[in-house]
């Protein structure tokens, strides 16, 4: 079937935070500015938003979001959304008791997952080709091109993914599109391929449930591309199944968190070209939102290290996040303070002396803490840039090589050998910003 080039945009994890009577959060300014850009963009009439539309799923937030989406519709453009676990009270996965109450007016702003169906019908939930319970749908975007939007809330707690019947429905939609000579691509919230090798290790339950098997089944049914969010990381990953089918997960950073990116996609014939756009510079309370977002990203790790070193009350406030309870943190105060002071002050050269390994002179004075925080930021930004020719790479290889010599056998198998694992974290030779895919 013939179709013209189709251009569209994808935002994800807009996390709109709003409370009645409180000043607007910067997430609102970002969303408004990006919607302005979208409305001004020529030949681009479709916007996808892949879940975590709001911050806490509070009724105030949906009240703030809906008119913004309607503004797009009134300008003659289209928005297709899926919801995710931040779009309703996390504890309210159960059906809303049918008491006829208006979800936007319930006391305390309480929203159930099942409320969303009524609220977002005009933004895709009422799919024009096929629907599956709990807000999954297939819609015809343009002659020849279909979107399959999959809600992957699972049980909303331990399992975020597709139950068997849902996955079979998705496989049927993919096969049906092939049979009809249509291009079909997917959108869900949780990542179906790891955005960084470390991600499934530290955050297994943040991956789509059964992601290895599910991505293979979708790929073997004929799906080539899935757009995802949730991780707040910018990444492009692919895999080829045992049957020889290649599948891409386009994971996009949160619009309202560091580094503030979104995607532009063009489908021309059988070719899909994906690129990246940057949230424009916006001022909020005298600061750029970019500066606020960057500070927010590393503030937790920074507070933990600097608190342990210099401000133990701050450390006590934050240590729950690394599963250390207050009583134990108080008992271990002296060794934790010593470790904190060490990590806060040590340089790469200092670590090299301690571990008896050679660090290139140009990076000996680099703060270990600042490098670590930068490497974390690079993963989020899809800019793991320290390749083998850089002195940072050489320093990391020397240090991890020595640690591997000393403790290699005691490390978890997935981290062995440690230098090779570390290399995947600091350097990603393929672009996370753009790719061309044969559909
Ligand atoms: Fe999420
Ligand atoms: Fe999110």
Dist. CA 251 → ligand 1 center (Å):
12
- Tell me how far apart the alpha carbons of residues 385 and 295 are, in angstroms, rounded to a whole number: 21
Instruction: Give the Å distance between the CA of 113 and the centre of ligand 1.
Output: 14
User: Can you spell out the DSSP letters for 51-100?
Assistant: S--BSS--HHHHHHHHHHHHHHHHTT-EEEEE--GGGS-TT--SPPP-S-
Ligand 1 centroid – CA 150 distance (Å)? 14
Q: Are 259 and 380 in contact (CB under 8 A)?
A: yes
pLDDT, tens digit, for every residue of 160-219?
999 999 999 999 999 999 999 999 999 999 999 999 999 998 888 899 999 999 999 999
pLDDT at residue 93 in the model: 72
According to CATH, the topology of domain 6-280 is Purple Acid Phosphatase; chain A, domain 2 (3.60.21)
Q: What is the pLDDT of residues 255-285, one digit of tens each?
A: 999 999 999 999 999 999 999 999 999 999 9
Ligand in closest contact with the CA of 208:
1
What pLDDT is attached to residue 2?
Answer: 44
Report whether 229 contacts 251 (CB < 8 A): yes
Backbone angles phi, psi at 261, to 5 degrees: -130, 160
* 35 pLDDT above the threshold of 90: yes
427 C-alpha to ligand 2 centroid (Å): 24
Reading across the β-sheet that carries 235-240, which strands appear in turn? 130-132, 136-142, 145-149, 183-187, 225-228, 246-251, 235-240
Q: Which ligand is nearest the CA of 160, by number?
A: 1
pLDDT(156) > 80: no
Cα of 358 vs centre of ligand 2, distance in Å, is 41
Pairing of strands 283-284, 246-251: unpaired
Percent of the chain with pLDDT over 70: 99
CA of 61 to the centre of ligand 1 (A): 16
- Average the pLDDT over 70-99 and give the result: 89
CA distances (Å), 324 to each of 295, 319, 327, 329, 332, in order? 24, 5, 9, 6, 10
The pLDDT value given to residue 128 = 79
User: In angstroms, what is the span from residue 202 Cα to ligand 2's centroid?
Assistant: 16
Question: For residue 418, which of 406, 430, 433, 428 has the smallest C-alpha distance?
Answer: 406
From the CA of 375, how far away is ligand 2's center (Å)?
20
**Ligand having the closest approach to the CA of 17:** 2
For residues 141 and 80, what is the distance between their CA atoms, to the nearest angstrom?
10
- Cα(11)–Cα(7) distance, integer angstroms: 14
Q: What is the Å distance from ligand 2's center to 407 Cα?
A: 36
Give the Å distance between the CA of 334 and the centre of ligand 1: 37
- Residue 394 Cα to ligand 2 middle (Å): 34
Backbone angles phi, psi at 55, to 5 degrees: -80, -50
For the CA of 82, the nearest ligand: 1
CA atoms of 257 and 34, how far apart (whole Å): 14
Query: pLDDT tens digits, residue range 131-140?
Result: 998 789 999 9
CA of 222 to the centre of ligand 2 (A): 28
CB neighbourhood size of 8 (10 A): 24
pLDDT of residue 3: 52
35 CA to centre of ligand 1 in angstroms: 21
CA 20 to chain centre: 27
Give the Å distance between the CA of 257 and the centre of ligand 2. 9
DSSP strand pairing (261-268 vs 271-278)? antiparallel
Q: Among the residues of 272-390, which ranges form H helices?
A: 289-310, 312-318, 326-331, 333-345, 348-355, 368-381
- Determine the distance separating the centroid of ligand 1 and the alpha carbon of 189, expressed in angstroms: 7
> Which ligand has the nearest atom to the CA of 15?
2
Task: Give ∠ CA 379-245-144 in degrees, rounded to 5.
Answer: 95
Give pLDDT tens digits for 311-326. 999 999 999 888 889 9
Separation of CA 34 and ligand 2 centre (Å) = 17
Q: How far is the CA of 55 from the centre of ligand 1 (A)?
A: 10
Q: Which strands, in side-by-side order, build the sheet including 435-438?
A: 78-82, 46-50, 6-11, 261-268, 271-278, 435-438
Higher-confidence position of 208 and 93:
208
Ligand nearest to the CA of 189: 1
User: Given 3-state DSSP classes, what are the helix, strand and coil percentages for the chain, each rounded to the nearest 5?
Assistant: 45, 20, 40
Query: Strand pairing partners for 142?
Result: 145
The residue among 217 and 300 whose pLDDT is bigger is: 217
- CA dist., res. 62 & res. 157, Å (int): 21
Interval 394-403 mean pLDDT: 97
Q: Which residues surround ligand 2, an ion (CB under 5 A)?
A: 13, 52
- Report the separation in Å between the CA atom of 134 and the middle of ligand 1, taken as the mean of its atom positions: 16
Q: How far apart are CA 392 and CA 180, in angstroms?
A: 52
CA of 231 to the centre of ligand 2 (A): 6
Q: How far is the CA of 82 from the centre of ligand 2 (A)?
A: 13
State the Cα–Cα distance between residues 422 and 197, nearest whole angstrom. Answer: 10
Q: 198 C-alpha vs ligand 2 centroid, how far in Å?
A: 18
Q: Please state whether 7 falls in left (phi above 0), alpha (psi between -120 and 50) or beta.
A: beta
- Which residue, chain included where needed, has tokens 């960084």? 196
In degrees and rounded to multiples of 5, residue 160 shows phi and psi of -115, 110
The strand pairing partners of 343, in sequence order, are none
Residue with tokens 């699972």, as numbered in its chain: 154
Tell me, what's the pLDDT at 1?
Answer: 43
What are the backbone angles phi and psi of residue 131, rounded to the nearest 5°? -135, 150
- Closest C-alpha to 34, from 72, 74, 60, 86: 72
| Domain range annotation of the chain | 6-280, 289-426
Ligand 1 centre and the CA of 199: distance in Å? 14
Average pLDDT of the residues of the chain: 94
Question: Distance between CA 150 and CA 51 in Å, rounded?
Answer: 10
Question: Cβ atoms within 10 A of the Cβ of 320, count?
Answer: 11
Give 13 Cα–ligand 1 centroid separation in angstroms: 7
């Amino acid at each position: 079937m013939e179709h013209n080039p189709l251009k569209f945009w994808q935002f994800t994890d807009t996390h709109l935070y709003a409370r009645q009577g409180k000043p607007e959060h910067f997430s609102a300014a970002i969303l408004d500015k990006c919607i302005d850009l979208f409305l001004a963009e020529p030949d681009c009439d479709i916007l996808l938003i892949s879940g975590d539309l709001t911050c806490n799923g509070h009724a105030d937030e949906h009240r703030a979001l809906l008119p913004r989406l309607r503004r797009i519709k009134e300008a003659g453009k289209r928005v297709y959304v899926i919801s995710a676990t931040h779009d309703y009270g996390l504890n309210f996965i159960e059906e809303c008791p049918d008491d006829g109450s208006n979800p936007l007016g319930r006391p305390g702003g309480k929203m159930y997952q099942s409320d969303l169906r009524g609220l977002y019908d005009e933004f895709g939930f009422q799919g024009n080709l096929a629907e599956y319970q709990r807000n999954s749908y297939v819609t015809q975007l343009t002659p020849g091109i279909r979107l399959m939007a999959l809600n992957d809330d699972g049980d909303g707690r331990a399992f975020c993914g597709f139950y068997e019947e849902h996955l079979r429905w998705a496989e049927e939609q993919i096969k049906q599109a092939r049979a009809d000579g249509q291009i079909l691509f997917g959108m869900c919230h949780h990542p179906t391929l790891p955005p960084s090798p470390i991600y499934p290790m530290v955050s297994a339950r943040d991956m789509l449930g059964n992601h290895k098997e599910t991505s293979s089944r979708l790929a073997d049914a004929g799906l080539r591309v899935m757009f995802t969010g949730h991780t707040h990381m910018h990444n492009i990953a692919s895999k080829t199944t045992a049957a020889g089918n290649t599948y891409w997960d386009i994971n996009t950073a949160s619009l309202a968190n560091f580094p503030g990116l979104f995607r532009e996609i063009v489908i021309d014939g059988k070719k899909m070209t994906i690129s990246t756009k940057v949230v424009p510079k916006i001022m909020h309370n005298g600061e750029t939102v970019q500066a606020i977002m960057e500070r927010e990203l590393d503030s937790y790790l920074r507070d933990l290290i600097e608190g342990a070193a210099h401000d133990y009350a701050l450390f006590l406030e934050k240590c729950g996040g690394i599963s250390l309870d207050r009583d134990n943190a108080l008992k271990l105060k002296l060794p934790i303070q010593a470790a904190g002071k060490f990590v806060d002050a040590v340089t790469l050269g200092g670590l090299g002396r301690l571990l008896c390994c050679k660090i290139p002179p140009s990076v000996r004075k680099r703060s270990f803490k600042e490098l670590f925080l930068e490497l974390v930021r690079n993963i989020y930004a899809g800019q793991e840039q320290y390749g083998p020719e850089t002195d940072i790479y050489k320093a990391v290889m020397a240090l991890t090589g020595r640690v591997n010599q000393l403790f290699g056998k005691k490390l978890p198998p997935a981290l062995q050998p440690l230098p090779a694992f570390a290399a995947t974290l600091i350097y990603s030779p393929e672009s996370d910003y753009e790719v061309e895919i044969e559909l």
